[in-house]
Copies of this chain bind each other. A is one copy, B any other.
Amino acid sequence: MQDRPLSLPHVFRRVERYFGHKTVVSGRVDGETAMTWAEVCARVRRLAAALDELGVPAGARVGTFAWNSHRHTELYLAVPCTGRVLHTINHRLFGEQITYIVNDAEDDVLFVDRSILPAVWPLIDTFTTVRAVVVMDDGGDTEIPDDDRIVDYEDLLWSTKDSGREFTVADEDTAAALCYTSGTTGNPKGVLYSHRSVVLHAGLLLMVDTFGLSERDVVMPIVPMFHVNAWGLPYSAMLCGADLVLPGPAMSPPELADLLARHKVTFGAAVATVWRGLLPLLDQHDLSSVRQIVSGGGAVDEALSRAYRDTIGVPLTNAWGMTETSPVVTTSRIGTAHDHYTHEEKRALLGTPGPAIPLTEVRIVGDDGQEAPWDGRTPGELQASGPTIAAGYFGPDGGTAAFTEDGWLRTGDVATIDGHGYVRIVDRTKDLVKSGGEWISSVELENAIMDHPDVAEAAVIGVADAKWGERPVACVVAHPGTTPTAESVREHLRDRVASWWLPDQVFFLDEIPKTATGKFSKQQLRSLYRTGAHPAEHAK
């Protein structure tokens, strides 16, 4: 067979030649932009030439701080198709984390949406490798600093021209994209996606039993393009020629509902928090075009799914994955084995992760290191393997704790698998809180709290939250003779962690319950919280 790499230049050629007439809509602060893929591709060719002129070396990381937009899409193609690495960064992270990530990745240039500039520019002098910051006008009114390092995206594009060169990435194992995940402890870790993994993953989402994306779809990734490549949806849309609707900074529920209805979106993807926020607006919009909405970042809230089913006729469907897995590993679906289920049972099933998609394998492993049976009852740590799953982390000190001796990824989730291969997440081995689809490290938050001069001990647990799925709750023991308040703890944290990490509730206890080995017993804390046995008078 021909030695043809699975690489993004194929995806570029395909969308350019076959789907030039299809559209990419991008929300802006001040309206929206509609472009054809032909226009986007012509801009990609210019951007590729501009990257050359900027002197970005082969293999160098190009950092992006951007909403979902056609410009971000242009970067998704031009950067990897020219052998550079697209490094998407979550601008909502705490400043120190952003600095760490940019420096760890050794980003050569940054592309930043104008409305996001306030989160990035103040850090510019902490970046050790960044030579230039390209500002993309998303309609935001942030003042552009008068600085030699600042370049305007459109100026850059229009000061150059398509060099006419064909894109080639001959080795499919070449790095294409980089995304950092916040681990349980220590610094964020980078996951490097290869051209091979990106292209395979893009194709997997086109399969009927995965997401079944096709040329007839209008795909709206509400999940950010800085979050595991927006679940790979932009690349899948390019491969099949679907229209793409990108909300940009227009992320409020009324704006999202308007986009869904006006552009007749057929497929939407977001974390549960977004779908929950949209619920009150559904009956004001015609959403009859929607055929599937995927709710990721945790199990689907059944009441929410039922509400969608009742309102727009489509329940929420679940999918499971993580930054290390490209991300989609499982997707929920009703198999022929479930034809006898009631409607309610089917809806409930759709709210669970479902079976692994092709090319990807999962297993559950018990505490004894043995694979647990697929009986739907026995739990074990969920482990994943496949060509779209990470083998390690970016950089020399990426660490190997997350991988087994035979090279499987330890996901940190505890799951059961039933006889048909349907995964259900039952617990988490890692000490993490998942809020709005993003991880919060309990350990880091605890350390930050314990930095407070009046705090002796602190433990953080995740508790169910209607809006965010989970929120962190801090359990604090004060130093003798001091009386810290919940507000003083939050105030202390404000310039130490991202604002969305701030615990909504802070409880003061006489002591943190401990395990036999002296570790904080999160299990007992969670149990205390659930039963309301936490001393109410300590709540502030």
- Is there a chain B Cβ closer than 8 Å to A376's Cβ? no
Contact indicator B213/A208 (Cβ below 8 Å): yes
Interface string of A231-270 (1 = CB under 8 A from B): 0000000011100000000000000000000000000000
Q: Are A391 and B215 in contact (CB under 8 A)?
A: no
Range of interface residues on chain A?
Answer: 35 or more
Contacts of A407 in B (CB 8 A): 2-3
Q: How far is the CA of A112 from the CA of B420 in the complex (A)?
A: 35
A241 to B356, CA, bound (A): 12
Residues facing B in A414-452 (CB within 8 A) are 420-421
Taking CB atoms, residues of chain B closer than 8 Å to A162 are none
Q: Which residues of B contact A196 (CB under 8 A)?
A: 1
- Are A203 and B207 also in contact (CB < 8 A) when A1-B197, A17-B421, A361-B13 are? yes
Complex Cα–Cα for A74 and B47 (A):
51
A519 at interface, CB cutoff 8 A: no
Chain B residue numbers with a CB within 8 Å of A374 are 17
B207 touches A391 (CB 8 A): no
Q: Does A341 belong to the interface (CB within 8 Å)?
A: no
Considering the chains assembled together, what is the distance between the CA atoms of A114 and B519 in angstroms? 62
> What residues of chain B lie closer than 8 Å to A194, measured between beta carbons?
1
Residues of chain B contacted by A214 (CB below 8 angstroms)? 207-209
Contacts of A197 in B (CB 8 A): 1
Q: Is A474 an interface residue (CB 8 A)?
A: no
Cβ-neighbour of A361 out of B10, B22, B390 (below 8 A):
B10
- B-contact bits for A343-375, CB 8 A (1 contact / 0 none): 000000000000110110100000000000010
A18 adjacent to B203 (CB under 8 Å): no
> In the complex the two chains form, what is the Cα distance from A198 to B532 in whole Å?
58
Chain A, range 1-48, C-beta contacts under 8 Å to B: 1-6, 10, 13-14, 17-18, 21-22
A516 at the interface (CB under 8 A from B): no
Give complex CA distance A22, B339 in Å: 14
How many angstroms between the C-alpha atoms of A407 and B355 in the bound complex?
39
Contact B17 A203 (CB under 8 A): no
- In Å, the complex CA distance between A15 and B218 comes to 32
How many Å from the CB of A484 to the closest CB on chain B? 42
Chain B CB within 8 A of A153 CB? no
Q: Which residue of B lies closest to A196 (CB)?
A: B1
Interface flag for A340 (CB, 8 Å): no
**A206 on the B face (CB < 8 A):** yes
Contact B359 A1 (CB under 8 A): no
Identify the closest chain B residue to A194 (Cβ).
Answer: B1
Other-chain contact of A207, B6, B206, B355 (Cβ < 8 Å): B206
Give the contacting residue for A10; candidates B239, B359, B389; CB below 8 A.
B359
Per-residue CB contact flags for chain A residues 106-126 toward chain B (1 = under 8 Å, else 0) read: 000000000000000000000
Q: Does A386 contact B (CB under 8 A)?
A: yes
Interface residues of A in 186-213 (CB under 8 A from B): 192-194, 196-197, 199, 203-204, 206-209, 212-213
**Contact between A203 and B359 (Cβ–Cβ < 8 Å)?**
yes
Q: Which of A435-486 contact B (CB under 8 A)?
A: none
Which residue of chain B has the shortest Cβ distance to A420 in the bound complex? B18
Contact between chains at A358 and B2 (CB < 8 Å):
no
Q: How far apart are the CA atoms of A240 and B215 in the complex, in Å?
A: 21
Contacts of A386 in B (CB 8 A): 2, 4
Asked if A317 is at the interface of the complex by the 8 Å CB criterion, the answer is no
Known: A374-B17, A386-B4. A207 touches B240 (CB 8 A): yes
Nearest 5 interchain pairs by C-beta: A208-B214, A206-B207, A1-B197, A2-B391, A18-B421
